[in-house]
Amino acid sequence: MPALVFWVAVAGACGAVLRLLLVELSDEQYMRFPWATLMINLAGSGALGTLVGLAHAWRRLPQWALPVLGTGFLGSFTTFSAVILAGAAAQQRDLFAQVASSLVVPPEMWEVGAYLVISMLFCTAASAAGLTLGRAVFGCTGMDCAHAGGGPR
């Protein structure tokens, strides 16, 4: 167990650093809409869905794969807090002062809300598509995967 915790932490650090590098390379802080964060979260959600689908369809997947790659690497690569931060920071540097002003709902808040809804819907869809793909890779298409070399874990 201590070795697994160590490798989850290492994978988490790698996922966080990769995310940081991709956001920094994109100059997202100068964008009005956080495209880099959205793309990272879409890719990570799809990858996580694929990994879980593989785990359900293929019993020979190592036991460490889900915690290390899923929770560690992809968990730190795709984070909801990064979505919130990117959505708010991309819209207005002084967002809280603007909310406290005479405007009830500033125009930038609508964009932040739209971004959050888009992110949740499309990341959920990417995860479902990845799950379907991961299960289909080993011929597991129905709820019962026994014919694919192993059932759900």
- Rounded Cα–Cα distance for residues 145 and 78 (Å): 28
User: Tens digit of pLDDT for each residue in 67-103?
Assistant: 999 999 999 998 766 665 555 555 555 555 555 555 5
CA 75 to chain centre: 7
Q: CA–CA separation, 133 vs 53, rounded Å?
A: 7
Choose between 29 and 5: higher pLDDT.
Answer: 5
Per-residue pLDDT of 100-127, as tens digits, reads: 555 555 556 677 778 888 888 999 999 9
Q: Per-residue pLDDT tens for 17-26?
A: 999 899 888 8
pLDDT at residue 17, as a whole number: 92
Q: How many residues are listed for the chain in this entry?
A: 153
Residue 73 is given by DSSP the state I
